[in-house]
Structures are given as C-alpha cells and as structure tokens.
Amino acid sequence: MSGIPLSYQGCDHGGKGSFGQNVVGARLVWYISYSCKSCGAKEEDGESFPPENLRNAVLKKDGYYKLIADCADRLTSIKAIRGVLRYPMETATTLLAHFPVLYVGTETEAKWLKAVVDEAGAASEVVGCDADLNETELAVERLMSEADRQTLW
C-alpha cells in the first residue's frame, strides 16, 4: 500500500513524486505529491476515487483486493456499500447474488468499504485476490465502471 512513484510533471529537473490512496475515518482520499529542488513542492488531493490512470497503476503494482462479508447478514453490508457507491437497485441485486464478495478493487478501497460496513455494524474482512480474478471477483469488479467511479469524484 506504499505510494506509486511519479516523475514531476512539467519540469526537466528530475523532480520526484508519489501517488497514494488513504482511508481517513470512513472516507476514501487520494494524494499526489511532487517535489523538485528547482520548482519546489506541489500537492494535489481529492476525495473518493482517484484519476483512473493512477488507480490502474496501483492495481498493477499491488493487485486486486476484495472485501468479504464475515457474517450471514447480507442486507446490512450491501445496504451500507450501496449507500456510498450509489449503486442502482439492480446492481445491488447482482451484488446480493455474489455474496459474500462485497467489493473488488484496490486494497485501500476495500479497507474504506470495510470501515463503511463496520460502521453499519456488519463484520467483513479484506483479502488479497489471486493474480487471475475468478468469475465472481470479475463480476463484482465490473459492477462499477470507470464512468460510475467518475461520477463519485
């Protein structure tokens, strides 16, 4: 879950930077920080899902993680996740069919949703996926498209 190294954009001095995601309370946040001896330091951050190219770099480096419900109570956990990912009802129904897998994405995103599900009073755990996602993991990962993530920015 360490940061992704980036080169300083728009400078020729070899400045370095990094990108990462964090969970603050029950919020998902991301940051980009650059520093260059000549240009100084630059910080950018945001809440919710990060720019897609940076998110893809995290997935490439750290792999996919999943959030798995650790209790038989399907509705509490799925309702909590639907509350923040704003899934339409049909998507929530699909998610119900893939229970106990609640989410597939970056490790930080899975930890964020664990905090959300914790707050709702349901137990869950974050588990690393194998390099090749299985059918259920792929189906859950595809529930949220790039376009859906962008609407949550």
The contact set with Zn ion (CB under 5 A) reads 11, 13, 15, 36, 38-39
Distance CA 74, CA 69 (A): 8
Min dist CB 45 to Zn ion, Å, is 20
CA dist list (Å): 147 to 69, 117, 138, 142, 150:
26, 24, 17, 11, 5
Residue 12 C-beta: closest distance to Zn ion, Å: 7
Looking at beta carbons, which residue is closest to Zn ion? 11
> Which residue, 15 or 17, has its beta carbon nearer to Zn ion?
15
- Smallest gap from Cβ 32 to Zn ion, in A, equals 15
- Give the residue with the Cβ less far from Zn ion, 14 or 128: 14
- Give min distance, CB of 43 to Zn ion, in A: 15
Residue 21 β-bridge partners: 30
How is the beta sheet containing 4-7 ordered, strand by strand?
A: 4-7, 16-24, 27-36, 40-47
Choice between 12 and 132, CB closer to Zn ion: 12
Which DSSP category does 143 fall into? Answer: T
